[in-house]
Amino acid sequence: MKKIILLALLVLIFVAANANAQKNSSKKTSKSAQKENPLKGLKKAGPEDMDPNKPIMLDPFNTPIYFENLNRLKPEEFMTAMMSGDYVPEPYIDKKGDIKTILLRKASEEEKKQMLEMRQGMMEPGQMDAQPDKLGKQAVSFSVSDMNGNVFSLDALKEKVIVLNFWFIECKPCVMEMPELNKLVEKFKGKEVVFIGFANTDKAKLQKFLSSNKFLYNIIPDSQTVAENYEVRMFPTHIVIDRASRIRFYAVGLGPTTMSDLEKIIETHLK
């Protein structure tokens, strides 16, 4: 199955966009770029240079990310740029094949159309990011206590839609998406939806972090076991479980449509 851009900590690229990418080799330069070109000595990676099954890390804190005019993307601009769906990330590698920087190229209308068609061809939102054997399967049972001592279990939450977020405080994309996740919680307030955040972080660290970072999910500390049971290996990961305790959405990272897909799948299973 072809995969399109997969963001947050882990992004899959190289779809049909790469066919056109060869035609659009960067011809744009600026005065600042002439003084210090961040792409100097690097090669734009082609499909043959990348493992199609290996996600690419898009982390503006650790990997320099630039717009086509070679202006560096500020971390606070990352969320808006990637959620817009207007860009194709092009990795630049050194002689060893290691990714050293990412260039955000404006997607052509044809590329946008291709990505839209691919997305519309999926059975449900989130399917493009899931392993085929996960969707529709029975959710793994759990019984956990949140930061305030409230107990949540799969059995007790039957007949409700359950939205899970797997994260940890050192995961920059996990933290960056929290404001958008909070909007989802507010939107479905009072509905038969439960939002649970499984954190791979101990309670003491979480208490300090949450004292200055608002996250409206019910936060479960030390959730490594639950993450393993759900085969979560990359962060953030979003899972939606329907009223019959079956997995209906499984998305890794933060893509241009992750939030809208989450909203749609929740609404679908509330009906």
| Contact indicator for 197, 235 with CB cutoff of 8 Å | no
What integer is the mean pLDDT of 165-186? 92
Which residue did the predictor score with more confidence, 80 or 170?
170
Cα separation, 76 vs 240, in Å, equals 27
Residue 33 has pLDDT above 70, yes or no: no
| Contact indicator for 199, 169 with CB cutoff of 8 Å | yes
Kindly list the domain boundaries of the chain, sorted by start residue: 17-118, 125-270
Categorize the per-residue pLDDT at 23 as very low, low, confident or very high, splitting at 50, 70 and 90.
very low
The closest of 20, 17, 24, 21 to 3, measured between CA atoms, is 17
The chain-wide mean pLDDT, for the chain, equals 80
3-state secondary structure of 204: helix
CATH of 125-270, picked from 3.10.180.10, 3.40.30.10, 3.40.50.720, 3.30.360.10, is: 3.40.30.10
Q: What is the pLDDT of residue 8?
A: 36
- Classify residue 56 as exposed, middle or buried by CB count within 10 Å of its CB (0-12, 13-18, 19+): buried
